[in-house]
Amino acid sequence: MAKLDPELLTLLRSVDTPTVCNAIEVAQCKRGFSKFTRGTMICSDPEGGSIVGFAKTAKIAALDPPTENQDIIKERRMNYYRYMSEVDGPMVTVIEDVDYPDCIGAYWGEINTKVHKGFGLSGTLTNGVMRDLGDLAEAFPVVAGSVGPSHGFVHVREIDTPVNIFGMTVAPGDLIHADRHGAVVIPSEVIPILKDSIHKLFASERLILDPAEKTEFSFDDFQKAWEDFEKSRT
């Protein structure tokens, strides 16, 4: 897993996920990038900024009681927490609830958010359920599939394996950016040029936004601005 340039990390935390999606297209010089979530997700702290970090993954279930021996379930639970406690740099938990779309188990509440924040993780992305709104750990955003009151029979199924969150496949160690819009996996090959790509994106957007924000803005003004905008992207 690559280290993240501190300046890039600060920049990524300051921008939203749509900006990152657009910047990936700038970096790749094409459209068609597709490793982002589909559908509407719920953010525990919409104004709290972005979640950025390398993925620590697991799978859970809660609809039915586990069928394995209780000693195995308990051992896997402790292995899960040990795995999540091994933090080196910015990291986020990415948890697939395999009951989706019928998730009922609110794994993310007051206790788990405070435990994972204590480990040094930056936030959580899940297709599952969160609860305890108002009592979650501060500065630990959760982007989830739904809100619900109970944890059901929640238990850990797998640790450190690929997961699927709202149509987005995430491998352990993938660089994640998430906020109230959903989430995206940042391709490893664009990480070295992503900072420049974000700044290039900002500059090209001003070619449209600056004229549009003036008191008078005609179609001719738009047409000229759009031509300049298109040239900047080629």
What are the CA-CA distances from residue 128 to residues 17, 39, 95, 109, 170 (Å)?
20, 13, 8, 12, 15
Beta partners for 57? 94
Q: Are strands 106-108 and 129-130 parallel, antiparallel or unpaired?
A: parallel
Report how far residue 221's alpha carbon sits from residue 226's, in angstroms, rounded to the nearest whole number: 9
Report how far residue 186's alpha carbon sits from residue 1's, in angstroms, rounded to the nearest whole number: 13
Cβ-Cβ contacts under 8 Å for 83 (sequence gap 6 or more): 56, 58, 159, 160
Q: Is 60 exposed, middle or buried (0-12, 13-18, 19+ CB in 10 A)?
A: buried
For 23, which DSSP code? H
Is there a binding annotation on residue 131? yes
* Binding-site residue set: 131-132
**Known binding-site positions for Mg(2+):** 132
Q: Give binding residues for substrate as ranges.
A: 131
